[in-house]
C-alpha cells in the first residue's frame, strides 16, 4: 500500500476483482490506484506475463497506457491552449493544418476531432504501408472520410494524431516536450513520458512481436505510434498507477499543482466537462465524476460531489 490507511474500505474486494481477472486471463497483472479523500491506495497483483516464472508486478511498475495518451496528454494540451485563447473548440482544424483544406475535410472542427465525430475511419493500419513518420503523416492527410463531419461518432486514432499536430503547430515545440513541461512536470508525474523508456524501474511488457524484436518492453505497443517514433497524439505514453492517480485527483478537483498553465486543467468542470460529456470514449460523465475507458481506465470524482 502506498501511502494510505491499511483499512481503506473495499481493499479486499478490489484485490479479489484483480485476482479473478488474472485467473480468467483477462490480463497477467495489474495495478489499481485509488484515492478517496486523503486516502491513497496502490494495489498490485499478478505477474509481468503469463509465464509462471515471470516477476511479480510491483506497485510502481511502468505501463504502456495506450489510449489514455488521448486523455492525459492530448486532450489536456488542447484544453490548455483553449484556456490560453490560442484556439477555440469550434475552430476549423484546417486553420492550423492547411493540408486539411480539402473538399469534405476543410470544415472539420476541433470539437469534432476531440469527440470522434470528424468522419475519419476507425482503426487504420498505416504501419502496413508506411515506414517513416513522413510517410505516415502524408497518409493521414490522404485518408478518405467514411462520414460527413459531425454525422456520427466513430472511435478513431486519426483525430488525435491530428490534434497533436495542431498542438505542435501552435506551440512550436515537439509534442512530447510540450506535454512534459506543461502537464507532467507541474503535476509531478515524474514517471510519465513518451517512449522508448529505459531504466532500472519495472517496465511491463505488452506483447511478443517477432517482427519488432520479440517481447516489447519500454517501446510503444501501437504500431502506428511506433512508426511515428513513439510519440503520437493517440498513443505512446508510459506511466505508473501513482502518476495517473495524481492526474485523476487533479481532474476530480482535489489537487493544486505547483505550476499549471490552465484553469480548466486545475478546475475541469468547464471545458473538460464539456468534452467528457460528449466524448465517445467516456463511460459516464456528470458534474461530479468522469470515467474514461480507453484501453486503460481512469475514473475521477469531484470532492464536492461525493
Q: What is the average pLDDT across 80-95?
A: 94
pLDDT of res. 261: 39
User: Where do we find the cell 486503460?
Assistant: 296
Question: Residue 72's domain spans which residues?
Answer: 65-306
pLDDT of res. 270: 47
Domain boundary among 59, 91, 109: 59
> What pTM was estimated for this model as a whole?
0.84
Is 276 a residue whose pLDDT tops 80?
A: no
pLDDT band at 193 (very low <50, low <70, confident <90, very high): very high
Q: What is the average pLDDT across 30-43?
A: 87
pLDDT of res. 298: 56
pLDDT of res. 38: 76
- Does residue 166 share a domain with residue 111? yes
Tally of CA atoms within 13 A in the half-sphere of 229 that contains its CB:
9
User: Read out DSSP for 110-167?
Assistant: HHHHHTT-S---SS--GGGT--SHHHHHHHHHHPPPSS-TTS-----SHHHHHHHHHH
- Does residue 260 share a domain with residue 165? yes
Tell me phi and psi for residue 65, to 5 degrees.
Answer: -90, 10
pLDDT of res. 131: 96
- Does residue 287 share a domain with residue 170? yes
Is 265 a residue whose pLDDT tops 70?
A: no
Q: What is the average pLDDT across 151-176?
A: 98
Is 117 a residue whose pLDDT tops 80?
A: yes
Counted domains in the chain: 2
pLDDT of res. 194: 97
Helix axes 158-171, 133-142, angle to 10 degrees: 110
pLDDT of res. 186: 92
Is 132 a residue whose pLDDT tops 60?
A: yes
pLDDT of res. 8: 60
Is 303 a residue whose pLDDT tops 60?
A: no
Q: What is the mean pLDDT of the chain?
A: 85
pLDDT 10s digits, 239-257: 999 999 999 888 877 655 4
CATH number at residue 173: 3.40.710.10
Q: Is 248 exposed, middle or buried (0-12, 13-18, 19+ CB in 10 A)?
A: buried
User: Read out DSSP for 61-85?
Assistant: -BEE-TTHHIIIIIIHHHHHHHHTT
Are the C-beta atoms of 230 and 194 separated by less than 8 Å?
yes
CA 125 to chain centre: 20
Tell me phi and psi for residue 182, to 5 degrees.
Answer: -105, -5
Question: How far lies 69's CA from each of 66, 73, 77, 137, in Å?
Answer: 6, 5, 11, 19
pLDDT of res. 40: 86
pLDDT of res. 250: 85
Tell me the β-bridge partners of 289.
Answer: 301
- Does residue 101 share a domain with residue 35? no
Q: Residue 32 and residue 59: Cα distance in Å, rounded?
A: 8
- Does residue 93 share a domain with residue 26? no
pLDDT of res. 188: 93
Is 158 a residue whose pLDDT tops 90?
A: yes
- Does residue 124 share a domain with residue 54? no
For residues 162 and 290, the model is more confident at 162
Q: What is the average pLDDT across 80-96?
A: 95
Is 64 a residue whose pLDDT tops 80?
A: yes
Q: Residue 284 and residue 215: Cα distance in Å, rounded?
A: 35
Domain boundary among 13, 35, 59: 59
The SS3 of residue 29 is strand
pLDDT of res. 201: 85
Are the C-beta atoms of 195 and 205 separated by less than 8 Å?
no
- Does residue 49 share a domain with residue 123? no
pLDDT band at 281 (very low <50, low <70, confident <90, very high): very low
Is 135 a residue whose pLDDT tops 90?
A: yes
Amino acid at each position: 500500500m502506498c501511502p494510505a490507511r491499511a483499512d481503506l474500505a473495499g481493499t479486499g474486494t478490489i484485490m479479489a476483482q484483480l485476482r479473478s481477472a488474472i485467473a480468467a486471463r483477462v490480463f497477467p497483472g495489474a495495478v489499481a490506484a485509488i484515492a478517496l479523500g486523503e486516502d491513497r491506495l496502490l494495489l498490485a497483483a499478478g505477474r509481468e506475463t503469463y509465464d509462471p516464472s515471470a516477476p511479480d508486478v510491483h506497485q510502481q511498475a511502468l505501463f504502456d497506457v495506450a489510449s489514455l495518451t488521448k486523455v492525459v496528454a492530448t486532450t489536456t494540451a488542447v484544453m490548455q491552449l483553449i484556456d490560453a485563447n490560442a484556439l477555440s473548440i469550434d475552430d476549423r482544424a484546417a486553420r492550423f493544418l492547411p493540408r486539411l483544406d480539402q473538399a469534405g475535410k476543410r470544415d472539420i472542427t476541433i470539437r469534432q476531432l476531440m469527440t470522434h465525430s470528424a468522419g475519419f475511419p476507425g482503426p487504420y493500419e498505416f504501419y502496413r504501408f508506411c515506414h517513416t513518420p513522413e510517410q505516415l503523416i502524408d497518409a493521414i492527410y490522404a485518408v478518405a472520410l467514411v462520414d460527413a463531419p459531425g454525422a456520427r461518432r466513430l472511435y478513431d486514432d486519426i483525430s488525435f494524431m491530428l490534434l497533436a499536430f495542431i498542438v505542435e503547430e501552435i506551440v512550436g515545440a515537439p509534442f512530447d516536450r510540450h506535454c512534459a513541461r506543461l502537464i507532467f512536470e507541474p503535476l509531478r508525474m515524474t514517471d510519465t513520458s513518451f517512449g522508448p523508456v529505459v531504466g532500472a524501474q519495472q517496465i511491463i511488457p505488452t506483447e511478443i512481436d517477432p517482427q519488432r524484436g520479440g517481447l516489447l518492453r519500454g517501446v510503444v505497443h501501437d504500431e502506428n505510434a511506433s512508426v511515428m517514433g513513439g510519440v503520437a497524439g493517440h498513443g505512446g505514453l508510459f506511466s505508473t498507477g501513482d502518476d495517473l492517480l495524481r492526474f485523476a485527483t487533479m481532474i476530480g478537483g482535489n489537487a493544486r499543482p505547483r505550476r499549471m498553465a490552465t484553469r480548466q486543467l486545475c478546475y475541469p468542470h468547464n471545458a473538460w466537462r464539456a468534452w467528457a460529456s460528449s466524448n465517445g470514449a467516456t463511460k459516464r460523465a456528470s458534474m461530479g465524476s468522469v470515467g474514461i475507458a480507453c484501453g486503460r481506465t481512469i475514473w475521477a470524482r469531484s470532492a464536492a460531489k461525493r
